[in-house]
Amino acid sequence: MAKIPKKTLEDLEYFEVLRQCSGFAITPLGKEACLAILPVIDENQLVDALNAVSEFKSSFENENRIPNHGFEPLISVFSLLSIENSVLDISVFRVIAANTDTTNVLLQFLEKFRTYYPTLYGYTDGLYVDKEIKKTIDGVIDRFGEVRDDASDSLYLIRKQIQQLRSKISSSFNKSLSQYQAADYLDDIRESVIDNRRVLAVKAMHRRKVKGAIMGSSKTGSIVFIEPETTNAQNRELQNLLFEEGEEIKKILSQLTDYFRPHLPYLKAQHEFLLLLDVVYAKARYAQEIDAILPEIDKKKRSIEYKKAYHPLLLQSHRIEDKVTYPQDVYLHPEKRIVVISGPNAGGKSITLKTVGLLQLMLQSGMLIPVHESSKACLFEQILTDIGDNQSIENHLSTYSYRLKNMKYFLRKCNVNTLFLIDEFGTGSDPELGGALAEVILEDFYGREAFGIITTHYSNLKALANELPFMVNANMQFDNKTLEPVYNLMMGEAGSSFTFEVAQKNGLPYSLINRAKKKIERGKVRFDATIAKLQKERSQMMKTGESLKEKETKAAVESERMEKMNVKLKAKLVSYQELFDHNQRMIVLGNKINDIAERFFENNKKRPLIAELLRAIETENAKRKRKTASVVKKEREIKKQLNEEVKKELVVVRKEKKKQKQTPAPSKPKTVLRIGDRVRMFDGRSVGSIDAIEKKKAIVNYGMFTTQVNLDLLELVEAAKGKK
């Protein structure tokens, strides 16, 4: 258990958090267990507890919701079960059966989803699905809470006799009822029930004429209730049978109790599991209520990084009152292990200090805390607090004496594993003398490498925080214009108390404020004014920085957008240029063909027509080849650059390829063109047939005309018939 005094728990209102948390437990025993939670220091135990709560909280938000874990307490039963010859009640057996059934359902669920809930699954160690307990109890006790007739042979016979005897009693009573009704001895109500027995309602004047036992009379005495003689004898016999039935039931329950004595360790483990699950459930529901999460626990480096941290109690009360709660960012590192918070009263200094302390207590109690998900935390063996007035009337201690007593305790306990929290450090005495004493005490805490947060108005403590390397100033920001707190902690800078500014705002005469300023040292006024001025400039710089950052972000987004647009425009321009060039070539080619066609119609000569067509085609092909050559040249340059960039990677690949010898792929055989084959030029669409082949040229017949073409420029469309 962590060495945390009860005073610390009271100062930070820890028990109020437990009270709120316990309200979510679903069993009375779970509520008691929540109220008894105390912070721990065992890191492994604490991490398991936090992970369990985080897993249970996540189950509220997914489809694999953990089944109901409600149970009835059996602590008193365990002590009774350990006593020899003791007998458990029927209701106790029904609770055992119900708890076992609940445990079985949970065990099967956690086994199925062990990857989702590994920590909760770990809590099931030592437990197993036991179907015999419920089966045994159900074999003796029915769903109405009665011992079954077939629980034993003797009970079966006794109950059969009871049933038969009750039938006889009913028959004989009905017979007497009819007899005396006919004789007009009975009142209008005819019969009644006394002590669970049917009796005749006999008129008082005829009571001696009816044989039987008088069981009572009406208030007026006009009616006498008599049990018929025959029925009376049968009822005595029935009472004997009922007694025997009760004894047999006791015997059966005694045997059932003896059966469960060896199961006592399992029943205790089962009970502890269900109770633990109820506590974890309560913590998870409370975490859901305050939007709490599990921060990263830094096991190697002792540091606290609470981002957007909320005080849970303040958060809850403000929600009820529909008020805004301001989060704080607090950082404690080995390089900045003590924070001195200054600033005006009612600015939020004490709340910030209490927030850190309470969140640390909650975390070390296995509870999730309301911080940003990127927050980090660590564990402390001791958390010491000095918050509030705490003037002791009984011990005749003043505020300052009480605080000095606390400081004495701090000096005795404070070490490297301590987190100390002191509100209004040094107050209660002469400002200069008390400030000097506070300064040396703080230096002592600093020398012991303890972590801590203090709030103060003393200038010497602000100066000390600025001088020592592992101590840092912080201030609660204040609006200089409206003189209203903005509840924002600013690390790295001391804060002004705004004493005179606040006094002026509250209507104190300006002349009095001026007189007060003259009564104190000029240097102190200037120092406080300088701090106020720095705060104001810091605030303006922050606003300017945020504005510049916002503009920079917008400019970057706009630049990126413009760059993308520029790339698209360039691509479109290239595409349009290519399209334009292509269209121009097509126009020129079309004009040439048109001129050739006109000359052909004039002279009707084929050879000049074919020759000119071939020249036009060869010219176009040459242009295309030149263009292709330039494109290929560019591609080669790009490939050359890429090859140089991946040269190192290729060396590795080549080494691997040398190890894995691969046979080269067979080269595709070159197509041999023959007479009769249907062919076309590589970049043409017209298909013709080869009439003759001379050297490396072929005479191609296109139907309307024939032409001579190099074999290398032709591709096969369809082989001549008979050719394989």
pLDDT digits (tens, 9 = 90+) for 585-613: 778 777 777 777 777 777 777 677 777 77
Per-residue confidence (pLDDT) for residue 394, from 0 to 100: 44
Domain identity same for 319 and 427: yes
Domain identity same for 352 and 472: yes
Output the six-digit token pair for 581: 């060039």
Q: Which residues contact 230 (CB under 8 A, 6 or more apart)?
A: 172, 176
Residue 593 falls inside a structural domain: no
Per-residue confidence (pLDDT) for residue 533, from 0 to 100: 63
Overall number of domains in the chain: 4
477: CATH: 3.40.50.300
Residue 68 falls inside a structural domain: yes
Supply the range of the domain harboring residue 416: 304-498
d(CA 288, CA 356): 20
Residue 285 falls inside a structural domain: yes
Residue 542 falls inside a structural domain: no
Query: Which of 574, 589, 587 is CA-nearest to residue 684?
Result: 589
Domain identity same for 175 and 315: no
User: 244-258, 273-287, 625-639: which has the minimum mean pLDDT?
Assistant: 625-639
Domain identity same for 330 and 283: no
- Beta strand 338-342 pairing with 328-332: unpaired
Domain identity same for 267 and 384: no
Domain identity same for 109 and 245: no
Per-residue confidence (pLDDT) for residue 643, from 0 to 100: 57
As a whole number, mean pLDDT of residues 167-181 equals 89
Sign of CA dihedral 680, 684, 687, 693: negative
Contact predicate 277/106, CB 8 Å:
yes
CA angle centred on 343, ends 337 and 349, rounded to 5° = 60
pLDDT digits (tens, 9 = 90+) for 217-276: 888 888 999 888 888 888 889 889 999 999 999 999 999 999 989 999 999 999 999 999
Domain identity same for 116 and 245: no
Confidence of residue 661 (pLDDT cuts 50, 70, 90): very low
3-state secondary structure 550-582: HHHHHHHHHHHHHHHHHHHHHHHHHHHHHHHHH
pLDDT digits (tens, 9 = 90+) for 427-442: 766 566 777 888 888 8
Per-residue confidence (pLDDT) for residue 663, from 0 to 100: 47
**In the chain, what percentage of residues exceed pLDDT 70?**
81
Confidence of residue 524 (pLDDT cuts 50, 70, 90): low
Contact predicate 699/662, CB 8 Å:
no
Domain identity same for 98 and 205: no
d(CA 249, CA 84): 18
- Asked whether residue 405 carries a pLDDT value surpassing 90, the answer given is no
Contact predicate 419/360, CB 8 Å:
yes
Mean pLDDT of the chain: 82
Residue 563 falls inside a structural domain: no
What's the predicted TM-score (pTM) here? Answer: 0.66
What is the DSSP secondary-structure string of 7-48? HHHHHTTHHHHHHHHHTT-SSHHHHHHHHT------HHHHHH
HSE, side-chain direction, 13 A CA sphere, residue 677:
20
Domain identity same for 62 and 41: yes
Domain identity same for 267 and 326: no
If one compares 672 and 32, the residue with the highest pLDDT of the two is 32
Per-residue confidence (pLDDT) for residue 523, from 0 to 100: 47
Residue 46 falls inside a structural domain: yes
Burial of 159 (0-12, 13-18, 19+ CB in 10 A): buried
Residue 506 falls inside a structural domain: no
181: CATH: 1.10.1420
End-to-end CA distance of the chain: 94
Domain boundary among 436, 465, 498: 498
* Residues listed for the chain: 724
d(CA 698, CA 700): 6
692: CATH: 2.30.30.520
pLDDT digits (tens, 9 = 90+) for 442-475: 899 999 999 999 988 888 888 888 888 899 988 8
Domain identity same for 67 and 109: yes
Domain identity same for 216 and 122: no
- Asked whether residue 14 carries a pLDDT value surpassing 90, the answer given is yes
Per-residue confidence (pLDDT) for residue 438, from 0 to 100: 85
Contact predicate 720/677, CB 8 Å:
yes
Residue 562 falls inside a structural domain: no
